[in-house]
Amino acid sequence: MADSVKKRRVLKRRIGIVGYGHLGAYLVQEVLKRDDVELAFVWNRSVEKVQGQVEDKFILSDLDKFAERNADLIVEVAHPSITEEYGEAFLDVADYMVGSPTALANQKVETKLREKANTCGHALYVPAGAFWGAQDIKKMADRGSLKGLKVTMRKHPSSFKLNSPLKEKNDSIGADAAVLYDGPVRDLCPLAPNNVNTMAAAAIAAHNLGFDVVRGCLVSDPSLTDFHIVEVDVTGPGDAAKGKAFTVKTVRTNPAQVGAVTGTATYASFLSSMLGARELRF
């Protein structure tokens, strides 16, 4: 009995990291520093970017061979297409954290992963990232008391990676701030897959509203040279038309360099989600 308890205590959770951009590299280094988890593998589309940065034994050159590394948790921080292509297969062998939840704006992808998570014995997670108040909003959604949710993101124009037609609109920004988009999060995700993971996480938390009712607003602001700003507007029970509804507004100012897609505080938030394999469990 004592031996089995001791064995459980020394077992480390094995984490596989898919993607080695700024966030992926940060997560890899943090895992390597810790005693309670260990790195199962790291994969990047361009393997040359990882070579020389991580010991060769950790580098997975062919993502199709992920199951050979016996990860307990696989964390995607690469691109939404990874979830579309590998999400179900990852869940066959490990818990899976979707670091690019804009992939879930595709209804077919979301449905497939939800169904898989309900039958495979492994958990599906979405990290909160820069989304402040995720758990409280999810509790309201669970009770059906969440009536409205809007997330506004303000960034320097160079911090956006956009597809048409938002790309052209952002490229034409002059000295003044301009709204690039204001509407349902579902329609925004394919236009800004690298920038609106916070909004996708909001749509997952607000599951009684979902991607079609949760609203997202992108503001391109040349004056924001040191920060990203994320505003979350929550509406609960009451008469909103008469100004008598429950409301909460949070404003998160996240330090970020010009051109950075992800603010610095988001890194630590993501790490906490990963290490606890918590936040928004499907």
Question: What is the predicted pLDDT for the residue at 7?
Answer: 43
Question: What is the predicted pLDDT for the residue at 229?
Answer: 94
Residue that wins the pLDDT comparison between 16 and 282: 16
The answer to whether the Cα torsion of 275, 276, 279, 282 is positive or negative is positive
Q: What is the pLDDT of residues 225-264, one digit of tens each?
A: 999 999 999 999 999 888 899 999 999 898 888 877 776 6
Averaged over 77-102, what is the pLDDT? 96
Residue that wins the pLDDT comparison between 268 and 107: 107
Q: Which two tokens stand for residue 114?
A: 């939800």
Residue 8 has pLDDT above 60, yes or no: no
Residue 128 has pLDDT above 80, yes or no: no
Report the DSSP beta bridge partners of residue 125.
Answer: 97, 281
Angle, helix 134-143 to helix 197-205, in steps of 10 degrees: 30
Residue 224 has pLDDT above 80, yes or no: yes
What are the DSSP calls for 46-96, one per residue? SGGGTBTTB-GGGB-S-GGGGGGG--SEEEE-S-HHHHHHHHHHHHHHSEE
Question: What is the predicted pLDDT for the residue at 21?
Answer: 93
In the numeric block, the tokens 């010991």 are attached to: 55
Counting residues of the chain whose pLDDT is more than 90, the rounded percentage is 78
3-class DSSP state of 81: helix
Q: Is residue 281 within a helix (H) or strand (E), and if so which, with residue range?
A: strand 280-281
Question: What is the predicted pLDDT for the residue at 204?
Answer: 94
CB-CB contact of 262 with 198 (8 Å): no
Chain mean pLDDT for the chain: 91
Averaged over 177-194, what is the pLDDT? 97
Residue 1 has pLDDT above 70, yes or no: no
Question: What is the predicted pLDDT for the residue at 258?
Answer: 82
Question: What is the predicted pLDDT for the residue at 132?
Answer: 79
Counting residues of the chain whose pLDDT is more than 70, the rounded percentage is 93
Beta strands 124-126 and 280-281 are antiparallel
Q: Which two tokens stand for residue 119?
A: 């039958």
Residue 2 has pLDDT above 80, yes or no: no
Averaged over 184-206, what is the pLDDT? 95
* Most distant pair of Cα atoms in the chain: their distance: 69
Count other C-beta atoms under 10 Å from residue 51's C-beta. Answer: 12
The answer to whether the Cα torsion of 91, 95, 97, 101 is positive or negative is positive
CB-CB contact of 123 with 102 (8 Å): no
Q: What is the pLDDT of residues 19-38, one digit of tens each?
A: 999 999 999 999 999 999 99
Q: What is the pLDDT of residues 129-157, one digit of tens each?
A: 667 788 899 999 999 999 999 999 999 99
Report the DSSP beta bridge partners of residue 76.
Answer: 18, 98
Question: What is the predicted pLDDT for the residue at 191?
Answer: 97
Question: What is the predicted pLDDT for the residue at 135?
Answer: 87
